[in-house]
Amino acid sequence: MTATQGTQGDRWFLDRLWFWLPVLPLVALDLASKELVFGFLDATYPGKPYAQHEIFGGWVRFSLTQWWNTGTIWGLGQGFNLPLIVLRIGAVAALVYFALRCRPSQRLTLLVLGAILAGALGNLYDNLTQGRLAVYPVPGGEVGGVRDFLYFCFGGGPSPWCFPAFNVADSCISVGAITLALLILRAKPETGGNAAS
């Protein structure tokens, strides 16, 4: 590799530093929170898979739960782990490609793409490991489901409306995707369709 090639590679990384900045902290937060919550539930409710531990109740109820999601967002497509692994790997490649297409000045766009990448990596890690590492059998067999643990229910009485359990990675993807859509919508015509920072 020549000095010029090395400099160009460094510039690509440094110019898009806002893309890489959120990735490691958010992946670490996602994986650490999953380990902590699932470990806590295993210790508190030994031998009880899919346990729930209520944090607060009332009209809005929040619980920590233990759920392996073998589908995609909101629990759709259960049991499609292998296709989802392929899709998530493709998403990772696409996010890096889109980051390459961004201008260095598009810091907010790069930051949002980095957050989405972190979410994809966190859930992909679970897909590749939880079939073998989960304490309890994972629905779907050898390939593991994504560990979800944040569980909100709304409304009183015996039949509240409950939002599907989710995790930090899901939050990164959802918030990032909404923010990215807003950035694209507000982009000026002269940007040629690229989201503005």
In the chain (197 residues long), the average pLDDT of successive 10-residue segments reads 51 85 97 96 90 92 90 66 84 94 93 97 89 50 77 86 94 95 79 50
User: Which pTM was predicted?
Assistant: 0.82
Residue 83 is predicted with a pLDDT of 79
Task: Report the pLDDT value the prediction gives residue 4, as an integer from 0 to 100.
Answer: 47
**193: left (phi > 0), else alpha (psi -120 to 50), else beta?**
left
Phi and psi dihedrals of 62, rounded to 5? Answer: -125, 130
Question: What is the set of active-site residues?
Answer: 148, 170
Indicate the SS3 state at residue 84: helix
Q: What is the pLDDT of residue 41?
A: 95
Query: Mapping DSSP to helix (H, G, I), strand (E, B) and coil, where does residue 65 land?
Result: strand
For residue 152, what is the enclosing H or E element? strand 146-154
